[in-house]
Structure 1
Amino acid sequence: MRLGEKVRRKLEMPLWQTVLRVGTQQIMIALGAGLSAFAYVLFQLPYNLAAGGISGLGVIVNFYTQFPPGLFYLLANIPLFILGFYTLGRWSFVFSSALAVIFFSIATEFFTYNMPVVLGDFPITENTLLATIFAGLLYGVGIGILYRYGGTIGGTSIPARIIYNKTGFPMSQSCLFTDLLIIVLAGFVFSWENALLAFLALLLSGMASDFVLEGSSQRRSLMIVTTSPEAIKYAMMNELRTGVTTWNVEGGFSGTEKTMLYCSLLRSRIYDAKQIIYTLDPKAFLVVGICQQTWGGYTPPK
């Protein structure tokens, strides 16, 4: 049996697992879109925070024409979807993005008409800075949930992805350039103070979505170049209960043969690791990096 066939068979899942996985994925995409719409209606529209993207353009259009922001978002995405259909994978692209865009549009309209009635006192705060902070954080958490489960929110991410595929220009820079154009437009329409607040909301949104997508960094990676590998390895495995990977290296300048050790630790144990390493080898070279996520098991020695 060929390797590719073995891999495919091993990755195959029963039908019920596939249905459960896809169903959970779509529910979480809808949840993320709903949370983003909630933040959009509660903290962006009432304060005219056009924090980039089609949603930001919707704030400007709604201010001038009172055109429903949810409907505008849906209509503005249609030509972008057509463009993405022919350049980004046809139906697979449409399926992964359509649910989020449709649900965001519906949820926006629902919250727009019902939130003032339910809350009574709307908007809920007169502090625009406070609204900006929560706009960025809540909207970003919703977008992060979307990305984590394979969805996209459409909008400016579609042309940014096309530019990336055609030219290799980073998507993040393309999206940022487009979002900044909309924020600058908002500065002319509303005020430059409003534009600054919208930019702050955009930054907080990006940070929050990255946090949800990648998780908090609780672990650190250690790369140790040493001439006492056995002692340090023994101490790391037995004192800090972590696995260690080793390989032989050679100093580029000195030509001296040494050993490099690699392991990951909770960041609270970095101080202990430094104490162990420099007690056993004062001349060791240590690099501490950030681990966003780690998987895999290790059986500590008894």
Structure 2
Amino acid sequence: MNANMANTRISVRLAWVTFGSILSAAGLELFLVPHNMIIGGAAGASAIFSYLSEMRLGLFLFLLNLPFLLFRYRKLDAQTRLLTFAGLSILSLSAFFLHPAPAALDHTLASTAAGGLALGIGIGIVLRFGGFLDAADGLAMTSEAKAPGRIRRSYWIFNGSVLFAGGFVFGWDEAMYSVIAFLLAYRCSDFALSGFSLTRMVWITSESGEEIREALRSRYGKEVILLDNEENGRGKMMVCTVSRMEQASVIRLIRSLDPNCSLAFHAAHR
């Protein structure tokens, strides 16, 4: 019985990874690439190499992402390896077969929005169900626990470098649209990764617990639940819920009161 349930869960996750991979390939081949727009990461680098070599994008999507899977092979569990390899293969094959198709939209800005949405949601779905479609995302997700600040900076530097290189290859007008597509895809992937939840739970560990509680209550009307009245060496642990629209300003407020506090977010489902 347990084996059947485990196989069912894997099948469901594999189905969602397949859907996310095909959606991501459609975002690239039907909306972004026909208009010489790219996003960061290995997908953006693949688009540049594909343009310069006149070879199909799907080939480079597989070749540039495969080293990440091999490099991280021993550090990933069996399910993650399976889902990542399946997602990468389906992404590459889908892009390969969609390549001859004409652009779905002629308007550049509309293609930017549609491509960013499709690609971001597709990537987020694959991440949510245990796989990776881009080496940059995978490396950031699997390494951030050890050095979050350094990994995050490296992630943005790498993506920015790819977008900057795209400006030299495709032109700076296309680069401007590429930045818009990248930011939209980034936000959409985060939204999909959280299960399309509009509410986030924020876990706070701070030595300025009372000050933070009072600030969140007075400015946002938030009820902050104190999880532990005792000091644990890093301060008091608290939790509250915020909307996705409030998240950035809440982070700024908390950081202004305690720059060294620990913050963690995850989706809050009703």
Q: Which 10-residue stretch deviates more, 95-104 or 165-174? A: 165-174
Q: Hey, what's the Cα distance between the residues in 1 that align with 2:33 and 2:2?
A: 45
Asked whether the 8 Å contact 1:54–1:155 carries over to 2, the reply is yes
Structure 2 counterpart of 1:108:
95
Which structure: larger Rg? 1
Asked whether the 8 Å contact 1:163–1:169 carries over to 2, the reply is no
1:207 to 187, 204, 207: 187
Asked whether the 8 Å contact 1:33–1:146 carries over to 2, the reply is yes
Q: How does 1:83-232 map to 2 (within 5 A)?
A: 83-86=71-74, 88-89=75-76, 91=78, 93-113=80-100, 116=101, 122-161=102-141, 164=144, 167-169=147-149, 171-214=151-194, 215-217=196-198
Q: Hey, what's the Cα distance between the residues in 2 that align with 1:144 and 1:70?
A: 19
- With structure 1 as the length reference, what TM-score do the two structures score? 0.63
Label 1:291 to 1:29 Cα distance change in 2 as closer, same or farther (>3 A): closer
> Cα deviations across residues 8-52 of structure 1 (Å, max 9, x unaligned)?
xxxxx7222111111101111111011100111001110111211
Structure 1 counterpart of 2:252:
none
Structure 1 residue 166 displacement after superposition: 5.2
2:45 to 51, 57, 63: 57
Asked whether the 8 Å contact 1:187–1:194 carries over to 2, the reply is yes
Asked whether the 8 Å contact 1:161–1:171 carries over to 2, the reply is no
Q: Hey, what's the Cα distance between the residues in 2 that align with 1:75 and 1:147?
A: 20
Q: Hey, what's the Cα distance between the residues in 2 that align with 1:218 and 1:162?
A: 25
Structure 1 residue 123 displacement after superposition: 2.1
Structure of higher RCO (CA pairs closer than 8 Å, 6+ residues apart):
2
- Consecutive unaligned residues in structure 1, runs of 5 or more: 1-12, 117-121, 226-244, 250-261, 267-289, 296-302
Structure 2 counterpart of 1:23:
11
Structure 2 counterpart of 1:69:
57
Number of aligned residue pairs: 221
Asked whether the 8 Å contact 1:51–1:198 carries over to 2, the reply is yes
Asked whether the 8 Å contact 2:43–2:61 carries over to 1, the reply is yes
Label 1:14 to 1:85 Cα distance change in 2 as closer, same or farther (>3 A): closer
Q: How does 1:273-292 map to 2 (within 5 A)?
A: 292=267
Asked whether the 8 Å contact 1:97–1:154 carries over to 2, the reply is no
- Consecutive unaligned residues in structure 2, runs of 5 or more: 203-209, 211-224, 230-238, 244-264
Structure 2 counterpart of 1:34:
22
Aligned-residue CA RMSD (Å): 3.4
Structure 1 residue 246 displacement after superposition: 9.5
Label 1:95 to 1:174 Cα distance change in 2 as closer, same or farther (>3 A): farther
Structure 1 residue 189 displacement after superposition: 1.2
Q: Hey, what's the Cα distance between the residues in 1 that align with 2:136 and 2:201?
A: 35
> Cα deviations across residues 117-169 of structure 1 (Å, max 9, x unaligned)?
xxxxx323332111111111111111111112111113223443565355443
> Cα deviations across residues 256-293 of structure 1 (Å, max 9, x unaligned)?
xxxxxx99799xxxxxxxxxxxxxxxxxxxxxxx9941
Asked whether the 8 Å contact 2:43–2:134 carries over to 1, the reply is no
> Cα deviations across residues 59-108 of structure 1 (Å, max 9, x unaligned)?
2122222111101111112222222125x337555324111111100111
- With structure 2 as the length reference, what TM-score do the two structures score? 0.70
Q: Hey, what's the Cα distance between the residues in 2 that align with 1:265 and 1:49?
A: 34
Which letter does structure 2 place at the counterpart of 1:76? L
Q: Hey, what's the Cα distance between the residues in 2 that align with 1:90 and 1:265?
A: 32
Asked whether the 8 Å contact 2:22–2:90 carries over to 1, the reply is yes
Structure 2 counterpart of 1:47:
35
Label 1:195 to 1:16 Cα distance change in 2 as closer, same or farther (>3 A): same
Q: Hey, what's the Cα distance between the residues in 2 that align with 1:52 and 1:158?
A: 13
Asked whether the 8 Å contact 2:31–2:105 carries over to 1, the reply is no
